[in-house]
Amino acid sequence: MSSVLFDAVTCVYPGAERPSVDDLTLSIDDGEFLVLVGPSGCGKSTTLRMLAGLEQVTSGTIRIGDRDVTDVEPKDRDIAMVFQNYALYPHMSVAENMGFALKLAGVNRADREQKVRETARLLDLEAVLDRKPKALSGGQRQRVAMGRAIVREPKVFLMDEPLSNLDARLRVQTRGEIARLTRELGITTVYVTHDQTEAMTMGHRVAVLKDGVLQQLSAPTTLYDRPNNAFVAGFIGSPSMSLFTVPVADGRPMLNGRALSGPVEAAGGLVQAGIRPEDVHLAAPDEANTELTVDAVEVLGAEAFVYGRTHVHGADSARLTARVSGRRHPGIGETVPVRLNTEQLHLFDAATGRRLEATVSA
């Protein structure tokens, strides 16, 4: 077991104009399950591959435990990686697939078999040890790939979107299994996904990347409740937080002439306001602070999401999403009064996107 440290790490691919990972400083505790999340192309795989030694670090240092591994060969780093395309050897049985790395490492047959059997028990694969990969379900294959990594007892697990090839139900089940397993084994894990739900449900802490730059590193609930900037605010949460630009009068953000919050330090007379769907409620006209003109409704059963537009200022309108009861929701084309719970309003600098705090509430 080991901690991991990225210290001011940058990766510029040969010929590239800008870094794929830009001055990343990130410290991961021994035994922690850290999730790296962000949109496609933000540098997640590059970060993981630098830790694995598969990509050259342009500048900065990477440590595993107290050892500087920046220039250490991949095979000498004591890590195990599980990829999205976990190619199993098709001609080998499950047991042989799982024991192969140990065989290469010169572990004797008896020890190998014992280790494989223990791991198979952990992963509920004992009954299929003699099968070939083609005779397994997608979920079982994924577990064999996990098993192959686990038998080696690495210091650090690296997982790059390991669930992308599974169907939705299996993905939910397997993400629970991976979280449980790594917790039981206590092995430091760096887990990459573009899926914010996976990040929120699995990570002890979550690192959000955009364009190679770390945006925020926090516990999942902190990311949700106090996003550092408008990007994190919009990326974390599903459906997304509604974000709209409003004018500022006497320091106060205004929605259709009403103050949304207490004074903020906003540059340029504008501020970006954000509100999550669960903080937008259908309301009686005298309790409403705006209206929602509905253009789409998603009924999930108990709840429904209502998507539409709201007036913000003068002729300006913005997209707004509300979470309402699945039994009682407005129809498409209707305009209904809604109340934004301004206690839960998020404010961001209109130019930089940086989080702002109102000094007093409205």
Ligand X SMILES: Nc1ncnc2c1ncn2[C@@H]1O[C@H](COP(=O)(O)OP(=O)(O)O)[C@@H](O)[C@H]1O
Contacting range for ligand X; rule: CB under 6 A; set: 37-45, 137-145, 226-234, 254-262: 37-45
Contacting range for ligand X; rule: CB under 6 A; set: 42-50, 232-240, 279-287, 304-312: 42-50
User: Binding ligand X by CB under 6 A: which of 4, 32, 35, 45?
Assistant: 45
Q: Residue 19 carries which DSSP code?
A: -
**CB 306 within 8 Å of CB 330:** yes
The Cα 55–Cα 13 span in angstroms is: 9
CB of 211 to ligand X, least distance (A): 8
CB of 51 to ligand X, least distance (A): 12
Work out whether strand 205-210 and strand 33-37 pair parallel, antiparallel, or are unpaired: parallel
Locate 308 and state its tokens: 């539409």
Contacting range for ligand X; rule: CB under 6 A; set: 33-41, 75-83, 91-99, 217-225: 33-41
The Cα 234–Cα 184 span in angstroms is: 33
Torsion of the alpha carbons at 169, 125, 190 and 11, rounded to the nearest 10: -100
Looking at the Cβ atoms of 198 and 291, the one nearer to ligand X is 198
The Cα 277–Cα 171 span in angstroms is: 25
Looking at the Cβ atoms of 2 and 20, the one nearer to ligand X is 20
Work out whether 41 is an interface residue with ligand X (CB under 6 A). yes
CB of 190 to Mg ion, least distance (A): 13
Judged by beta carbon distances under 5 to 8 A according to partner kind, the member of Mg ion, ligand X, none in contact with residue 42 is ligand X
Locate 352 and state its tokens: 């930089």
Work out whether 45 is an interface residue with Mg ion (CB under 5 A). yes
CB of 194 to ligand X, least distance (A): 7
Contacting range for Mg ion; rule: CB under 5 A; set: 37-45, 51-59, 246-254, 259-267: 37-45
Work out whether 40 is an interface residue with ligand X (CB under 6 A). yes
Looking at the Cβ atoms of 45 and 142, the one nearer to Mg ion is 45
Looking at the Cβ atoms of 199 and 264, the one nearer to ligand X is 199
**CB 97 within 8 Å of CB 89:** yes
Burial of 312-343, coded b for 16+ CB within 10 Å and e otherwise, reads bbeeeebebbbbbeeeebbeeeeebbbbbebe
Judged by beta carbon distances under 5 to 8 A according to partner kind, the member of Mg ion, ligand X, none in contact with residue 46 is ligand X
Query: To 10 degrees, what angle do helices 94-104 and 109-122 make?
Result: 130
Work out whether 20 is an interface residue with ligand X (CB under 6 A). yes
Residues 6+ apart with CB under 8 A from 87: none
Work out whether 162 is an interface residue with ligand X (CB under 6 A). no
**CB 143 within 8 Å of CB 124:** yes
Locate 136 and state its tokens: 């397994």
Nearest to Mg ion by Cβ — which residue?
A: 45
Looking at the Cβ atoms of 223 and 255, the one nearer to ligand X is 223
Looking at the Cβ atoms of 38 and 133, the one nearer to ligand X is 38
Task: Report phi then psi at 161, rounded to 5.
Answer: 45, 55
CB of 21 to ligand X, least distance (A): 7
In angstroms, what CA-CA distances link 118 with 95, 143, 189, 250, 261? 11, 14, 20, 67, 58
The footprint of ligand X (CB under 6 A) covers: 13, 16, 20, 38, 40-46
The footprint of Mg ion (CB under 5 A) covers: 45
